[in-house]
Chain A
Amino acid sequence: MRLAVVTFPGSNCDYDVYQAIKSVGGVPEFIWHRDAALDSVDAVVLPGGFSYGDYLRAGAIARMSPIMEQVVTFAAGGGPVLGICNGFQILCEAGLLPGALTRNDTLKFESKDVWVRVENADTTFSRDYGQGQALRMPIAHAEGNYYADEETLDSLESGGQVVFRYCDPSGHDGEGWNPNGSARSIAGIRNEAGNVLGMMPHPERAVEEVLGSVDGLGVFTSLLRQLSPAAA
């Protein structure tokens, strides 16, 4: 299974994502943002970082890269697309996911481990988790405050599109566990069709014991299992 990892100028999690994919048996492949083709890949990952220095708005300029036209077409055809951190911001800017990621309400760059609860374990990216399972993963962002109007939030909730939500270590909602002010503590959402996921936490930084958590593995194993059900 070939998974494209798109590198933009300023991406800095591309190697971590590459390694995470490899560690679960996938075949990662770097794609430079100026490449205009996504040749026979099975999934696309937009990694985290600071594409174009976050100029204008985080993700706004990366969205204009030649490769993004291909990513939009790939997603429209049902191809799985995973955006992590800056990748999530790019997916919102590109209109592949609703809403926007705005400045953290803390006004700080938040770099720490957080807990997220699996709100929907029946998705391409979360099927290897249990419903309601609490996961520990790092965040590292200044613009992770998810915003959408109430109507959009309601439709995300009712459509099972909220995949990950910030929670306390026991998996419950709790005061002080939303690290950035996100609406309804949303940490990750998928699109209506279910093939595009954006999340602020970094699952690729939680894939080995030595990193302090292996809770991020499930995102990658879920995706691989979706792509090759026979091998799972």
Chain B
Amino acid sequence: MTRHHLEIRIIPRPGLLDPEGKAIHHALDSLGYESVRNVRVGKAIYVDLEAPSSEEAIAEAEAMCRGLLANPVTEDFEIGMASPAAEPGETS
């Protein structure tokens, strides 16, 4: 068993109203970033888990997303391997 560090990104479905993204877009506009065309806000969840392989770690994380972490009605998810050093809250 190896410890895997996963980054799970939860993203609002395209086309779904994202008022928070819209508000940030407006704020960027007022900062002078007029090139911005779209802003969407999701969230990242960092999960450490033990699994025999990274494939199995990802498969398990997918099941977690379907069961709890993402709402299938409004959200999509992406799972990637995270670098342990980049993780917040990890004590060495």
A interface list, Cβ under 8 A from B:
56-57, 60, 64, 92-93, 98-100, 102-107, 145, 147-149, 181
A-B pairs with beta carbons under 8 Å apart, 9 shown: A60-B71, A103-B20, A104-B19, A105-B17, A105-B19, A107-B19, A147-B16, A181-B17, A181-B19
B73 touches A100 (CB 8 A): yes
Contact residues of A: prevailing secondary structure: loop
Q: B23 on the interface (CB 8 Å rule)?
A: yes
A106 to B69, CA, bound (A): 25
A104 to B23, CA, bound (A): 13
Q: Which residues 62-92 of B sit at the A interface, judged by CB distance below 8 A?
A: 68-69, 71, 73-74
Query: Smallest Cβ distance from B28 to chain A, in angstroms?
Result: 16
Which residues of the partner chain B approach A57 to less than 8 Å between Cβ atoms?
A: 71
Chain B residue at minimal CB-CB distance from A92: B73
Give the number of residues in B that approach A within 8 Å (Cβ atoms).
10
B17 touches A102 (CB 8 A): yes
B73 touches A147 (CB 8 A): yes
Given the interface pairs A60-B68, A145-B17, A147-B16, the reply to whether A107 lies near B73 with Cβ below 8 Å is no
Query: Smallest Cβ distance from A215 to chain B, in angstroms?
Result: 29
Chain B residue at minimal CB-CB distance from A59: B71
B68 touches A103 (CB 8 A): no
Which residues of the partner chain B approach A64 to less than 8 Å between Cβ atoms?
A: 68
Which residues of the partner chain B approach A105 to less than 8 Å between Cβ atoms?
A: 17, 19
A93 to B69, CA, bound (A): 11
A100 touches B74 (CB 8 A): yes
**Which 6 pairs of residues, A with B, have the shortest CB-CB distance?**
A100-B73, A107-B19, A100-B74, A105-B19, A100-B71, A103-B19
A193 to B70, CA, bound (A): 27
Which residues of the partner chain A approach B16 to less than 8 Å between Cβ atoms?
A: 102, 147
Query: Smallest Cβ distance from B39 to chain A, in angstroms?
Result: 14
A102 touches B68 (CB 8 A): no
A98 to B73, CA, bound (A): 9
Query: Smallest Cβ distance from B30 to chain A, in angstroms?
Result: 16
> Of residues A103, A105, A107, A181, which shows the largest number of chain B Cβ atoms within 10 Å of its Cβ?
A103
